[in-house]
Structure 1
């Protein structure tokens, strides 16, 4: 992941009497979280600041590798794509056996309806989300923002699926602090993610 302890940066590990010793009757899960020396690997990536405080800068589990060996930080890409006026929410996804990334996009309803009216495109939000021209308009704008922000070609999405309903706490796709629940998003959109990769193969 190109984080180095020599640069005061790396995974945050903690040890002590106040740290849990493992999961109840689950040695396999315990071994994933606590190493042989008793260090609990938090999954957070931190960096020591000059004043001696620790800043969390990343999360190990949210980073994944593509088939060609390139690492992807989805949250960084998502933050860039939400700069697009058409994008309300976005979930960037990739797999280690694939060479590209894809995304689920919840469009900004007001902007999309206005653009559709300007171009005399009729239909409900669901109909607009299934319109190939609308999809390409949004993806093109996302790619432009990605280019302006310095994303490399492998960090740009190759396909998107437009979803009319926002991710929310109520539908189980956001945490109470409004952060994306990535495992749930992956499970919820599995048919669409599989379909996008199928058409890209």
Structure 2
């Protein structure tokens, strides 16, 4: 649909080290990526600010706090901060970005707010799967609250199912929690020539069990909080989600990628 409407699509050279150069040359208006790249942009800007000296750090922090407060309260930020501080940051992505989209894995609320402030554009996070024709839920443009993946796609239903072994229940208060299940015309019919695996993910009522743990926030917003499939059980009976540990380690500037592996002691 985007190409039909005349949208031009740019591709990077294939070298991650030259990605920022490609962005400056392409000057995108809509930029979609994964949290890993956004985390790198966040780290790159913050490290650059720290190396500029005390006075410029204070100026950046004052500008950041003022603009963030204005955005979160629904007011128009003062243009002086863009001219003094954020215009050079915007130029790193070509200076024309209007919308940033994030998916594939959760984006930290701190990073999302940081991108909104520094680039002065909408930052939207969505949630979906190949099995659901991509989008299950997506944030609305007017929503400034971070840390969630928006409201359900009108083309599907979403419900949360109890996961007793992880202490998640759909009647939890104040926020219901459980495995995210999806039903609707966007859900696929099944895996090709694999009835066994199809029955494992689609139940008799046509609900697709995603394996993700969600939580309902006020306003019908969905938040991803855990993963049912990628867990292992410790000797004392406690369930551990390695992705949470990986996300903590990944914030370290000395770590590019990490993988947490659980092995029993014999």
TM-score (normalizing by structure 1): 0.43
TM-score (normalizing by structure 2): 0.33
Higher Cα Rg: structure 1 or 2? 2
Tell me: higher relative CO, structure 1 or 2? Use CA pairs within 8 A at least 6 residues apart: 1
